[in-house]
Amino acid sequence: MTTAATDNLLRATPDEGDALEALRHQIDEIVREHRAARLVGPDGETLEIPASAFHALQLVVQGMARGQTMTLVPHGKELTTQEAADLLHVSRPHLVKLLQDGTIPYYKVGTHRRVRIQDALDYRAQRAVTRRQKLDELTELSEELEGGYR
C-alpha cells in the first residue's frame, strides 16, 4: 500500500488485491462472531481495538478491497476549492458558484477561498436528502399517472 503523507491518500497496489479481500473476509467474520478485535504484537502482547477504530479499519479495508482509493481527512481540516469540488463530485467552477451564492459557507485566506470540511459534508448530506425527496416525489407522480409505473 502506498500513502501520501500530505493528503492521507490510501491506494492498494495491484498485488495486494487478494490479501485485502482475505482481510475483508476476516474482519467480516470477526464482526459476525465476536464484535470485537484484538491486535497482537510481535511479542504476543494483545490489545483490544476500540470499536470506533475497528469500524474505521473495516470501512477502509472494504473500500480498498473494491479497488477504491480512500482518503482520510480530519473533520477540522480546511479544503481548497478544488479539494471541496472533488469531495462533492462537482466541477470547481460549480463549487465556486455555490460558495458565491451562499449555499456553502467559506472564508478567504488572502485571495484564496477555503471551505471547512464539515460545511462541505453538511452540504453533501443535505443534497442527498433533497435528491431522495425529489426521487420519491417523481415515483409518486409516476404511480398516479394512468398507465404509469407500477
Question: How confident is the model over 8-45, as pLDDT tens digits?
Answer: 778 888 899 899 999 999 998 888 888 778 889 999 99
Both 130 and 105 in one domain: the answer is yes
Q: What domain count does the chain have?
A: 2
Three-point CA angle 85, 88, 92, nearest 5°: 20
Domain boundary among the residues 26, 49, 71 is at 71
Residue 55 to residue 27: CA distance in whole angstroms:
10
Both 51 and 84 in one domain: the answer is no
The model's pTM: 0.59
Give the domain range for residue 38.
2-71
Residue with cell 479499519: 57
Q: How confident is the model at residue 5, as a pLDDT?
A: 33
Handedness of CA 81, 87, 93, 95 (dihedral sign): negative
% of the chain surpassing 70 pLDDT: 93
Q: For the chain, what's the residue count?
A: 150
Residue 99 pLDDT grade (very low, low, confident, very high; cuts 50, 70, 90): very high
Both 92 and 129 in one domain: the answer is yes
Looking at the chain, which runs of residues are DSSP E strands? 2-4, 9-11, 37-40, 46-49, 70-71, 78-79, 107-109, 112-116
